[in-house]
C-alpha cells in the first residue's frame, strides 16, 4: 500500500532540512521512535494480527500480500521509505507484510497515532493524502489485473519502478528491481515463467536491457509507455496529474 508516486513530495527524505517545528509532518511524527530492523524475507506483521501499531518504513522495500486458502499469493503493493503502513479502522490487519530486502521501520502505537492525527490539522491532510494516493494506485492495479495482458502488465510495472527512481533523481536510466520474479508475478497476477518470457522478449526487442542481477536499463521509454496500454491517459508522471488540491487548511 501507499506505493504510489507523489508521497515523496510529502515524505521523501530528500526534501532537506527545512521543517519548521510549527509544521509537523507524518515523517517527523515517527522521528523519535526507535528503529527496528528486519532481515530480507522476515515478517513485519501478519494478516489477522491485532492491529495495534502503525509503521513508517525508513529503509528497504516491503511487500504487502494476502494468501488464499490453497496457497495462492497476491501481492497488493510494495512499500518504500517514507510509506506508512497499518492505517485502517479494522482491529485486525487484513494483510501480511514482509521485508523484501533488509529493511527498517519505526513503530507507533495505534491509539497514540490516532490521537496525534485527530488533534493535528497539519497531519490530517497528509494522512488523507496518503489514503487517496493509495486508493488511486489500487484502482490502477485493478485496471491492470482486470484487462491487461502479460506484456502490458510487465511494462506497466517497469514504468512504475522507473517513476520511483525518476522522482528521486533526474535522468537515471538504470532501475533497481529489488524484488524477485516471484514477487513480480504475484503482484502482476502472472507466473514467474510468463514474467521471465515477457522480460526476455522486451530485451530482445531492445526496449530494455538487463544490467546485473537486479538492475535494468530502459532503452526505449516511449515504446515502454505505449506497450503499457494505458491508452488515452496523459502522463501521470509530472505536473498535470500530480497537481493536488489543498485539503483542509
Partner DNA sequence: CGGAGTTTTGACTGGAATCAACTGCGGTGG
Partner DNA sequence: CCACCGCAGTTGATTCCAGTCAAAACTCCG
Interface residue with its own copies, options 33, 76, 104, 196 (CB under 8 A): 76
- Smallest separation (angstroms) from DNA to the CB of 67: 15
Q: Tell me how many residues contact its own copies (CB under 8 A).
A: 63
194 binds, among its own copies, DNA, none (CB under 5 to 8 A by kind): DNA
| Grid cell of 182 as nine digits | 516471484
Q: Which is nearer to DNA, 130 or 153 (CB)?
A: 153
Distance CA(167)–CA(245), nearest Å, equals 20
Summarize as ranges the residues that interact with DNA (CB under 7 A). Answer: 149-151, 180-182, 189-197, 199-200, 210, 212-213
- Smallest separation (angstroms) from its own copies to the CB of 173: 26
Contact 243, 5 (CB under 8 A): no
Interface residue with its own copies, options 24, 33, 49, 67 (CB under 8 A): 67
Say which residues have a Cβ less than 8 Å from residue 232's Cβ, sequence separation at least 6.
Answer: none
Burial classification of residue 25, based on how many CB atoms lie within 10 Å of its CB (0-12 exposed, 13-18 middle, 19 or more buried): middle
Instruction: Give how far Cα 43 sits from Cα of 85, 93, 101, 113, 176, Å.
Output: 13, 13, 11, 22, 22
Contact 54, 65 (CB under 8 A): no
Q: CA-CA-CA-CA torsion for 93, 161, 41, 71, nearest 10 degrees?
A: 60
Residue 171 sits at φ, ψ, to 5 deg, of 50, 60
Interface residue with its own copies, options 58, 96, 129, 156 (CB under 8 A): 129
192 sits near its own copies (criterion: CB under 8 A): no
Distance CA(48)–CA(6), nearest Å, equals 30
90 sits near its own copies (criterion: CB under 8 A): yes
| Grid cell of 36 as nine digits | 527496528
209 binds, among DNA, its own copies, none (CB under 5 to 8 A by kind): none
- Smallest separation (angstroms) from its own copies to the CB of 51: 7
CA 129 from centroid of its chain's CA atoms = 14
126 sits near its own copies (criterion: CB under 8 A): no
- Smallest separation (angstroms) from its own copies to the CB of 146: 4
| Grid cell of 166 as nine digits | 525518476
248 sits near its own copies (criterion: CB under 8 A): yes
Tell me which residues touch its own copies (CB under 8 A).
1-5, 51, 66-70, 72-74, 76, 87-92, 94-95, 110, 114-115, 117-119, 121, 124-125, 128-129, 131-132, 134-136, 138-139, 141-143, 145-148, 186, 188-189, 229-233, 241, 243-245, 247-249
Amino acid at each position: 500500500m501507499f506505493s504510489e508516486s507523489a508521497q515523496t513530495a510529502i515524505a521523501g527524505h530528500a526534501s532537506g532540512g527545512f521543517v519548521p517545528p510549527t509544521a509537523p509532518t507524518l515523517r517527523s511524527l515517527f522521528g523519535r521512535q526507535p528503529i527496528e530492523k528486519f532481515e530480507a524475507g522476515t515478517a513485519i506483521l501478519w494478516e489477522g494480527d491485532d492491529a495495534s501499531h502503525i509503521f513508517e518504513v525508513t529503509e528497504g522495500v516491503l511487500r504487502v500480500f494476502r494468501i488464499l486458502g490453497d496457497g495462492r499469493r497476491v501481492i497488493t503493493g510494495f512499500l518504500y521509505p517514507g510509506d506508512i503502513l497499518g492505517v485502517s479502522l479494522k482491529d485486525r490487519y487484513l494483510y501480511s507484510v514482509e521485508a523484501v530486502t533488509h529493511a527498517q521501520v519505526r513503530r507507533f502505537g495505534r491509539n497514540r497515532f490516532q490521537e496525534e492525527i485527530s488533534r493535528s490539522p497539519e497531519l490530517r491532510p497528509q494522512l488523507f493524502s496518503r489514503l487517496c494516493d493509495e486508493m488511486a494506485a489500487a484502482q490502477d492495479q485493478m485496471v491492470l489485473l482486470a484487462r491487461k495482458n502479460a506484456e502490458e502488465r510487465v511494462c506497466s510495472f517497469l514504468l512504475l519502478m522507473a517513476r520511483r527512481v525518476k522522482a528521486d533523481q533526474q535522468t537515471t536510466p538504470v532501475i533497481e528491481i529489488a524484488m524477485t520474479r516471484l514477487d513480480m508475478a504475484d503482484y502482476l497476477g502472472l507466473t514467474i515463467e510468463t514474467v521471465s518470457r515477457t522480460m526476455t522478449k522486451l530485451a530482445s526487442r531492445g526496449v530494455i536491457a538487463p544490467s546485473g542481477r537486479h538492475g535494468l536499463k530502459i532503452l526505449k521509454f516511449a515504446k515502454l509507455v505505449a506497450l503499457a496500454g494505458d491508452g488515452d491517459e496523459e502522463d501521470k508522471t509530472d505536473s498535470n496529474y500530480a497537481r493536488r488540491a489543498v485539503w483542509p487548511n
